[in-house]
Amino acid sequence: MKYDFSKTYNVIIIFLTLYITLIVGFFFDENLNLGAKPDWYTGDIPVLEAFSTDFKKTFLNYDIYGHRHSPIYLIFLGFLKSIGLNFDLIRFIHLNISILLIYFFYKCLSLKFNYIDKNILLIFSFSIFLSPTFRSLAIWPDTRIIGLLFFTISILEFLKYLKYKKNIYIWKNTIFLILSSYISPNFSLFIIFFLYHYIKEINFKDLFFLYFFCLISSLPVFYYIFILDVNFLMVNTPGEVPGENVSLSFNISDKILIISSIILFHLIPFILNKDFLYKIIKDQKKDLLIVSIIFIFLLYFFNYQISYTGGGIFFQISNFIFKNNIFFYFISLISLILLFFLVKNDLRNFLIFLLLIFSNIQNTIYHKYYDPLIMILFFTIITIPNSFGFFNKKNNIFVIYIFYILYIFFRVVKNNFFNV
């Protein structure tokens, strides 16, 4: 019997089933990303307790806690603690706030793909429930997932502007981006992407006020970091394994090769689309020499160490199974071919990729930084070929679900049987 996506009760059943799996994960302390649980207990809880007992002292000395995350969302959680809520209830409130990410991703999809059945888009957006990073950071409160929530709302307002061409959406896009940046500073770089688009569309007066508003909005951050000298962004925080320090690094080769391989991983269910894959192969034959030269150059300066931990799934597999980087280099080359296809004729795609690279300034590069961010970007502001047609075949929805289920299975096996 063929499954009918158009039936509303099927959508409700899928949502409730996936939501229940998240609740079950909550009660059984699910921790697919491994680092989320210890980060909560050893990193976040001491800060929440400090904010709930002495806000001013904690705020002015926030950098001593070794956090590279903004204190804004932790202040909110600290407030919940100060009014008498226990940590489990705070976690449960955070979990349900995190689910709003799925709703706003759906709103983005329904705006951009308004010709597709809404129930298909809903079921596709529900696949985020199966993202190991989303599950971990929803169950164990983390500022990144809330920053991503506000960033997704800012994308929604940007898509509204593209459709309706009303300046009110520019301001709403900017306000929500600022909020996401205050919560998770790495999203602040995306103002470059949005301004690049607006500079071509709005008059000088409106553009001036927009720039001025952004400048004024950034002043509290500069005052906090440079005048009050609470420079939490530059502290050396402990890594995910004992003895590891997460320090700053600007090795561009490391970042391009690893981040591109992570992007490839998260796009596997989509690039397996026959028409899309054929277009890549056909188009990239003439560009293979250029990509190869770029790859060799990056390879020469690549210096990411397995001792850093992280590096993405392909880097970890390469070093665990083959005890070298050969497999990872092969995957990286394929990743560059895909990225070159996406960026060579579209400056906006190139800009997004650059922003993804420069938004990570530390030496460690973790898979979780880009999940489910890559999928959200791919289906909202990244320009994809008209031949992509992912939603034209309902079976593609099953593919994404199978992909995430297998990914969860991999994480469970890795976490319980291998020290990778």
Q: What is the pLDDT of residues 80-133, one digit of tens each?
A: 999 999 999 999 999 999 999 999 999 999 999 998 889 999 999 999 999 999
Name the token pair of 70.
């903004």
Which pLDDT belongs to residue 140? 96
How would you label 392-404 residue by residue, b for 16+ Cβ within 10 Å and e otherwise?
eeeebbebbbebb
Summarize pLDDT for 27-71 with one digit per residue, the tens.
999 999 888 999 999 989 999 999 999 999 999 999 888 877 899
Give residue 243's pLDDT band: very low, low, confident or very high (50, 70, 90).
very low
- Number of neighbours of residue 390 by Cβ within 10 angstroms: 20
157-180 in b/e form (b: 16+ CB < 10 A) is bbbbbeeeeebebbbbbbbbbbbb
- How many secondary structure helices (H) and strands (E) does the chain include? 21, 2
pLDDT band at 240 (very low <50, low <70, confident <90, very high): very low
**Distant-in-sequence, close-in-space partners of 17: CB < 8 Å, separation ≥ 6:** none
Q: What is the per-residue pLDDT for 82?
A: 92
Q: How confident is the model at residue 242 (pLDDT cuts 50, 70, 90)?
A: very low
**307 against 131, higher pLDDT:** 131
- pLDDT beyond 90 at 346: no
Neighbours of 193 (CB within 10 A): 17
**Mean pLDDT for the chain?**
88
| pLDDT value of position 65 | 86
Better pLDDT: 398 or 283: 398
In this prediction the pTM is 0.92
- Of 5 and 63, the structure prediction assigns the larger pLDDT to 63
In the predicted model, is pLDDT for residue 412 greater than 80?
yes
Residues 6+ apart with CB under 8 A from 411: 32, 33, 132
DSSP 136-185: HHHHTT-HHHHHHHHHHHHHHHHHHHHHH--HHHHHHHHHHHHHHHHHSG
Residues paired with 104 in a beta bridge: none
5-8: which pairs have CB atoms within 8 A and are 24 or more residues apart?
A: 5/117, 5/119, 5/120, 5/123, 5/394, 5/397, 6/117, 6/119, 7/119, 8/119
Choice among 71-75, 333-337, 343-347 with the minimum mean pLDDT: 343-347
Token match 């400090």: residue? Answer: 50
Query: What per-residue confidence (pLDDT) applies to 37?
Result: 93
The pLDDT score that the predictor gives to residue 366 is: 86
Q: Which pLDDT belongs to residue 342?
A: 85
- Under the banding of pLDDT at 50, 70 and 90, the label for residue 389 is confident
pLDDT in tens, 274-304: 666 666 666 666 778 888 899 999 999 998 8
| pLDDT tens digits along 172-195 | 999 999 999 999 999 999 999 999
Write down the pLDDT at residue 408: 94
Share of the chain above pLDDT 70, in %: 90
Q: Is the per-residue pLDDT at 238 higher than 70?
A: no
Q: How far is CA 326 from CA 40, 304, 333, 346, in A?
A: 36, 13, 11, 31
Which H or E element spans position 238?
Answer: strand 237-238
Task: Provide the pairing of β-strand 245-246 with 237-238.
Answer: antiparallel
- What is the band of 306 on the pLDDT scale with cuts at 50, 70, 90? confident
H or E, element range at 246: strand 245-246
H or E, element range at 237: strand 237-238
What's residue 4's pLDDT? 60
Question: Is the distance from CB of 147 to CB of 187 less than 8 angstroms?
Answer: yes
Condensed to tens digits (0 to 9), the pLDDT of residues 141-169 reads: 999 999 999 999 999 999 999 999 999 99
Q: Which value, in Å, is the radius of gyration of the alpha carbons in the chain? A: 21
